[in-house]
Chain A
């Protein structure tokens, strides 16, 4: 088992200039579980994630890892416990997969220390876990979107952190690659006990893959808990301002959200919203 880590936001306020994005937010990340953060556009999901990995200093409150504020921890020490995959990481022109994944070893290396066997082992393990071993010598910019995202996850894995934060890891992927990436993260969580925290756009994917679902609205946590409890018609209405039906996904048993629009409805929207059965 990996060491138990307690990651939490306490009374966190985040702002860009004068505009507060997150206000007085409390959030505890359950250890060893998959947490998904959802919410409307510009509700502060990514901002929250950035602050949890100390990319953004809080205006008030703090992010605490194992009882210490992340903004006070030494940079490398934090980077050995907590990894982050940003939304659009930049691959230098021509860099190969093995080289990119190897850069994940930085927090484990001293300024002049030589590359060690354990670094090679970590890189090989990361490539194996993401099924990118075959791609090791290819240039990252020649890969497909799904492959590239797996390579970035491999880099974060080579960092060997017990907590992994991901900002919309599936955004630019088609549906089969989305499932591939989310399955991979679930594997990591189950086999290594890695605590995963991700911002997701797709509510249904979030409900399917998360153990713990956090819905943000108005800079605060609107609801948090098991997907069954969080993904409800009331929550979607409050968080997204959208009428919907929530049914049980026959393939996963998790809640599945069916949005109600103005067109292509089998019954009038009001009737559907009122809960009449779907024919």
Chain B
């Protein structure tokens, strides 16, 4: 453009300084969260019925033989902790993607039925069809995509998320959970813990066979979402503004939905729909990061931290052992109620 009004250098510097300050603050938050994830991950390898010091744990992870620890840490705790991190990252990332894209904290995939759709399909495939492994993951993905597609068709009239989408979603979530309950009631031989995995999510009995597909999905799909960071930030300003900024709105949205749904479905197929992690990670990350840029990475880390801590609490802090989803459910439900109450006060527009 010509005849450009040149701003004084001092104001350009002020703009640059503010931007650098925000970026520094964001990096600090991300670093602290990442360190916390590593610390809690390490702690969850050491803590248990038997305590193993860091030295033993490191030797097991490096593949050396340590009597006792090789089995307990290597076969029991390590897959469980890795799955906790993978599922937490996946749920957090997918949740904040939906919340950002739909501009509404209530529009997280575990509130609007996408997670429970995946869970219902997975449990159906396991109990009635006798499937396992990849077949279960694929079934969960197809179901989750199906639910997302139904939502898209029913509620995306002009990209604005109204009460309608949330209500339809809550209905679909209830249907998913009732299908799960029915299937579990037919599978008489299942023990309670296994049933709870599919109702609220659990890391009990985590194996590498269950963890690896979710890990691969994370490695493949997380970069897709991270590459969409700027497009998602523009979408927050409304479809019209985003489009005026040169974003291809529909393409971005479809790509983000497919990637986020893939993450969710693989994680759900591995450990069940861990309650409310998708829902909580974004808002918690927003509180910590403040108005300092994209929430994708911070929310993913918060998700991992939530699952790791909730699993430790569920195993050891309470009188008896609870699956991780029960703990996150207890955390998430009050927040859900709070959001709905606040929404009602604001006049019913979500």
Contacts and interface: CB of A to CB of B under 8 A. Distances in A.
Do chains A and B interact in one complex? Answer: yes
Interface of A: 1-3, 50, 53-55, 75-80, 82-86, 88-92, 94-96, 98-100, 102-104, 106-107, 109, 111-112, 115, 117, 120-121, 123-125, 127-129, 133, 136-137, 139, 156, 159-162, 191-194
Interface of B: 1-8, 11-12, 14-16, 18-19, 22, 103, 227, 230, 233-234, 236-241, 243-248, 286, 290-291, 293
Contacts of B16: 117, 120
A90 B293 contact: no
A59 B291 CA distance: 41
Nearest to A106: B245
A84 B58 CA distance: 57
B237 A89 contact: yes
Given A86-B244, A103-B245, A120-B12, A193 B2 contact: yes
B7 to A, nearest CB: 4
A123 B248 contact: no
B247 A92 contact: no
Nearest to A100: B237
B128 to A, nearest CB: 43
A79 B246 CA distance: 5
Given A120-B16, A136-B15, A55 B243 contact: yes
A115 B19 contact: yes
A83 B244 contact: yes
Nearest to B103: A90
A137 B3 contact: no
B246 A78 contact: yes
17 contacts: A55-B243, A78-B246, A79-B246, A85-B244, A88-B238, A94-B286, A94-B290, A107-B246, A120-B12, A121-B6, A124-B11, A127-B15, A128-B11, A133-B14, A191-B5, A192-B1, A192-B4
Contact of B5 (A106, A125, A162): A125
Contact of A111 (B227, B244, B286): B227
Contacts of A89: 237-238, 240-241
Nearest to B245: A106
Contact of B244 (A53, A95, A121, A192): A53
B244 A92 contact: no
Q: Classify the secondary structure of A's interface with B.
A: mixed
A124 B230 contact: no
A194 B248 CA distance: 25
A233 B235 CA distance: 44
Given A94-B291, A106-B245, A106-B246, A193 B3 contact: yes
The 7 tightest CB contacts between A and B, nearest first, are A79-B246, A84-B244, A76-B246, A86-B240, A124-B7, A107-B246, A90-B238
Contacts of A92: 103, 236-237
A89 B103 CA distance: 13
A133 B3 contact: no
Contacts of A82: 244
A106 B234 contact: yes
Contacts of B227: 111-112
A194 B16 CA distance: 26
Nearest to B292: A99
Contacts of A136: 14-15, 18
Nearest to A74: B246
Given A94-B286, A103-B233, 11 more contacts: A84-B241, A85-B241, A86-B241, A86-B244, A90-B237, A98-B18, A102-B19, A104-B245, A120-B15, A127-B7, A192-B2
A76 to B, nearest CB: 4
Contact of A107 (B18, B238, B245, B293): B245
A128 to B, nearest CB: 5
A59 B126 CA distance: 50
A109 B246 CA distance: 11
Nearest to B251: A75
Contacts of A106: 230, 234, 245-247
Interface centre among A91, A98, A120, A129 (most CB of B within 10 A): A120
Interface centre among B12, B234, B241 (most CB of A within 10 A): B241
B227 to A, nearest CB: 6
Contacts of B14: 124, 133, 136
A124 B15 contact: yes
Contacts of B15: 98, 120, 123-124, 127, 136
Nearest to B286: A94
Contacts of A193: 2-3
Nearest to A115: B19
Contacts of B8: 124, 128
Contacts of B5: 125, 128-129, 191-192
Contacts of A75: 243, 246-248
B163 to A, nearest CB: 16
A159 B6 CA distance: 15
B135 to A, nearest CB: 35
A71 B247 CA distance: 13
A193 B3 CA distance: 8
A94 B11 CA distance: 23
Contacts of A109: 230
B3 A54 contact: no
